[in-house]
Amino acid sequence: MPIGKFLTTFSGRSASRWQTFHRHLKGTQLQLFAYHPVMDGTSNPTNVRKRAAGRTLRFTLLAFLITLGTGTLVVLSNRAQLVNGARSVQHPLSLPLPIAVTLIVLGGWGPGLAAIAVTAWDSGSPASRQ
């Protein structure tokens, strides 16, 4: 079957076509790639948008908090010179150099860590387990 005809056949919103396709792939490795929102009951556009907005908000807040939190700890410590443009505070926190460098690295990976955390959180939710 040509790929164009395949995509035309399975790109519609028909639940029965997707369910037939899914039943055909059941037990094969390709079953993991046969997903359509109709299969898990999330085909309601409002529900899909709300879940996407929730995931985006969780990711944004978590990435911001990881990045800001680790950076603030380093800036308020005696290792503030590691952060470009940071001035030393009057009463700095005592922070060993390896911990300061670890915090800077974690802050740099903040958005990636937030993405992993939100994905793990969503994969454990009841809506994605159906």
pLDDT tens digits, 100-120: 999 999 999 999 999 999 998
pLDDT at 88 over 60: yes
* Contact assessment for residue 21 and residue 34, using Cβ atoms and an 8 Å cutoff: yes
SS (H, E, C) 38-64: HHHCCCCHHHHHHHHHHHHHHHHHHHH
pLDDT tens digits, 30-77: 544 444 555 555 557 778 888 888 899 999 999 999 999 999 999 999
Based on the domain organization, do 38 and 97 belong to the same domain?
no
Q: Which residues pair with 125 in a beta bridge?
A: none
Q: Specify the number of domains making up the chain.
A: 2
48 within domain boundaries:
no
- Per the model's pLDDT, the better-predicted residue between 13 and 121 turns out to be 121
Based on the domain organization, do 38 and 59 belong to the same domain?
no
pLDDT number for residue 5: 45
Based on the domain organization, do 34 and 98 belong to the same domain?
no
Based on the domain organization, do 60 and 35 belong to the same domain?
no
Which positions ≥6 away from 74 have C-beta within 8 Å?
A: 80, 82, 83, 86, 95, 100, 103, 104, 107
Closest CA to 126 of 54, 41, 44: 41
Based on the domain organization, do 39 and 86 belong to the same domain?
no
Based on the domain organization, do 71 and 128 belong to the same domain?
yes
Give the structural domain span for 109: 55-130
pLDDT tens digits, 14-25: 556 656 665 665
96 within domain boundaries:
yes
State how far the Cα of 46 lies from the Cα of 23, in Å rounded to an integer.
27
49 within domain boundaries:
no
State how far the Cα of 25 lies from the Cα of 22, in Å rounded to an integer.
5
pLDDT number for residue 8: 47
